[in-house]
Structure 1
């Protein structure tokens, strides 16, 4: 009997020894407060998604999760801070995919390498852009805008060089043969105000930022950049339909990223939380109300999407020779 007990004790000890290293390699997350950086001002798609995600993480208990806006340089400021943070999963950044796909080509003086210093953990949401004009411009359709822009000097606003609105606008101009001067702002909110004030003629801007002004007849919506209409404005045509070019599609993604070198076990925990939160029906409904589509991909899927989008946008950026300091 004693011999049997002794053997059981030895077996238990061996099992504990075998599992201890695995436990040591799987640190609990979060073990301290989590900060999610956002590279644009409050009110845009990144901010809306980040705050809802943080809210849901906070409901799970444990450590507090806060969102910090650090706008500027096409979302590079926030991404750069995250890239240099401790790689433990407690400093994250939510950025449009352009931080990886476009910015490394556009911004010549970055102090970090977005493609190597950041790890894509999950695509949380996807979103589109809406082309709006000040009513005083006097155009009601995309065709009318294209015709006017071929004969008159016209301007368009975006949230900054290389951001989704800038790319969507350049896609439209290339496809239509029109010409408009780009006027970049520090985020979609100030760009929207510029269009409202008539400082610029039009803007390709985030739908949640401009839709209230469209419904109030303060801005005129001409098209959305995605391949399908926006649920917030189903009567506004897509670029593809308005220009009769089915291949046109400028859908963008918001990517949750961590510093490269973050332990795989921590990445797996963040990835799992993202998937669970983005599957929640209430979360999906709230996102849809802001023209955002919940995703919640795995890290591997997110990285593959980024590779695909880099291959898609690099030729356009190089052809247009888009540059910013």
Structure 2
């Protein structure tokens, strides 16, 4: 090839390459940076409970991790409907997330005839925040000293049990005991865990189930721990046997209520993965370690893969068990 022709080809190729790179540089310059604004963590409960504590821990971590302020916005009420509706009305850009319970995501599909959103279509899981063993407690004046004693008392007389989400793990347990053992548990509903434990401390309830952290604040006000949920004892109350150790069995005994952070399903999957990884990174923060130690939670935050597995494997079990209880539908 003549030198002049070769030079013209090389110059043309270089010009073409430069022309091809220019749009890439332009596209890169225009690519949205995340996060580009304040991040909001909606919490489906009032301040003070486990869910709220997790959200505030993560807001602190996200603020440091992403360099944008993350704030907590408490939206309790209507069994989580208020909170989820606020989420699905927010832009699907990953800046808004929600902390809620498995009951809000699974049981609600059975308990409500019509919801202002589609739980299959509108939301996607990001990360799991374990609750650890939940405390089953009774008031001293009830005379209940253990799990079997609770069942025996509830067979004889009406026994008031606190609840803060319709179709919750607590309600599933109570309805199961009513059906299987002929008990007379009656649910008293609250807008969050903290007010439930406050009424336990003043003797307005007989038994309740909730996080160790919230229970510990009122434990010395006439309350007695009589069991814990799940297969292992609480590291904060190793002397208290699990309900399973005391004879509680069946499919429901293997389920564990947990807190799950979600976002709108329209948020791009890579961004959901990024948020899940950032949530898992919070396990290494001093605040997260101290919180898990104080609350008796042995496991750390689990990311998107675990959350998707929960959706796929445990979700159908929750739905089936709630449907089998034939609870009233709103």
- Relative to the length of structure 2, the TM-score reads 0.87
* Alignment RMSD (CA, Å): 2.7
Question: Helix, strand or coil: the match of 2:218?
Answer: helix
Report the Cα distance in structure 1 between the residues aligned to 2:129 and 2:208, rounded to whole angstroms.
25
| 3-state SS of paired residue (2:235) | coil
CA distance in 2, matches of 1:310, 1:23: 42
**Residue of structure 2 in register with 1:237 after alignment:** 241
Equivalent in the alignment of 1:14: 20
Mapped to 2, the partners of 1:19 and 1:174 lie a distance apart of: 66
Indicate the larger mover: 180-189 or 163-172: 163-172
**1:212 and 1:235, CA in 2 relative to 1: closer, same or farther beyond 3 A?**
farther
Q: How far is 1:175 from its partner?
A: 5.9
Instruction: Please give the per-residue CA displacement for 1:282-303, whole angstroms capped at 9, x wherever unaligned.
Output: 52342232234322312x4312
CA distance in 1 between counterparts of 2:129 and 2:11 reads 52
Shift of 1:33: 0.6
Greater mean alpha carbon deviation, residues 286-295 or residues 228-237: 286-295
CA distance, structure 2, for counterparts of residue 208 and residue 112 of structure 1: 32
Question: In terms of mean alpha carbon deviation, does 26-35 or 273-282 score higher?
Answer: 273-282
Listed one character per residue, the Cα deviations across residues 124-143 of structure 1 (whole Å, up to 9, x for unaligned) are 33444221111100111111
* Offset of residue 306 of structure 1: 1.6
Alignment CA distance shift 1:243-1:177 (3 Å): farther
Supply the distance in 2 between the matched residues of 1:114 and 1:128 (Cα, whole angstroms).
27
> Shift in Å at residue 37 of structure 1?
0.4
- TM-score by length of structure 1 reads 0.88
Q: Could you list the runs of 5+ residues in structure 2 that have no partner in the other structure?
A: 1-5
Partner of residue 296, structure 1: 302
SS, match of residue 67 in structure 1: strand
Instruction: Name the SS of the counterpart of 2:20 in structure 1.
Output: helix
Aligned to 2:3: none
Larger Rg: 2
The size of the alignment, in residue pairs, is 322
Rate the CA distance shift 1:6–1:165 in 2: closer, same or farther, 3 A.
same
Which ranges of structure 1 fall in alignment gaps of 5 or more residues? none
| 1:146-167: CA deviation from partner (whole Å, max 9, x where unpaired) | 1111112222111132123323
